Amino acid sequence: MTTKTWFITGSSRGFGRALAIAALDAGDQVVATARTPRDLADLTEKYGDSVLPVALDVTDRDAATAALQAAVERFGRVDVVVNNAGYANIAPVETMPEDDFRRQFDTNFWGVYNVSTAALPVLKAQGSGTIVQFSSIGGRVGGTPGLGSYQAAKFAVDGFTRVLAAETAPLGIRYLVVEPSGFATDWGGSSMRIAEVPPEYDATVGERVRGFATPGPTAGDPARAAQILVEVIGRPDMPTHLLLGVNAARMAQDYSRAQLAEAATWERVSRSADSDQQYPVEMPLAATVSA
């Protein structure tokens, strides 16, 4: 098998670290990026010249371009670009400070935009490559109280990636959106800030905060997920979206079934908006709507 070169953001911990190790253990080369490259010292000690640690703040577009160029200069090409860097803070949308909401979006969406657009000239010149976007199951089903900025960004990443895939379809570039449920990473740990929750949001956001304070067992194994990703990305029939975890698979299917049922219930109303369709039509019965 041909050795691949991976470019992974947020490689210092969590999924980024696990994926860097899985790729290196598979015999590939990794450009491991982090805000603080010294956090990657153990990777270079273990894997030597197969690892290139690079400082990268994904919110800096020029830095993303420079990091991709450093990858090409070192390894000659980049085969897999992984946008993994991201974080979340918890607060109601109404009371979260706007600068906090924007900073999260800067990392979780604009960071993906910066790295993806910096990678496109490299992948186009090669005529091949894969871009992997880490979303979450929340980026598909949404609706988690307290995670307004984070989940809005993940929805945006999916829409952005679908457009990229359509625009670059003839250019040999593939895309994979990864949608995990709960995993044993530091996502809800030291990088997460939880704001004070106003009383009127206690039953929604407050309940979510209490869930973080008394977490149950986390089923997801990041190392196993990383090995799965290395194998999936190596396949010619790679999916466009990959759910990871029992909860992710269950929640996605439940959500899709509910969407289909709702679309069917309101289909006649939806169709009646076109000028060549019957109008007006009867609205669905309340009992049918609530079901």
**Among 132, 239, 137, 180, which residue's Cα sits nearest to residue 14?**
180
The count of other CB atoms within 10 Å of the CB of residue 218 is: 14
Residues 6+ apart with CB under 8 A from 154: 108, 135, 136, 138, 139
Name the residues annotated as catalytic: 135, 150, 154
Each residue of 157-174: b (16+ CB within 10 Å) or e?
bbebbeebbeebeeeebb
For 131, the enclosing helix (H) or strand (E) is strand 129-134
- CA–CA distance, 21 with 186 (Å, rounded to integer): 17
Q: How far apart are alpha carbons 222 and 79 in whole angstroms? A: 22
CA distance 264 to 274: 17
Give the contacts of 20 (CB within 8 A, at least 6 positions apart): 6, 8, 11, 30, 32, 43, 51
Q: What's the Rg (C-alpha) of the chain? A: 21
Q: Which residues contact 170 (CB under 8 A, 6 or more apart)?
A: none
100 CB-near residues (< 8 Å, 6+ apart): 89, 91, 149, 193
Cα 91 to Cα 98: distance, rounded to the nearest angstrom: 11
Sign of CA dihedral 212, 217, 220, 224: positive
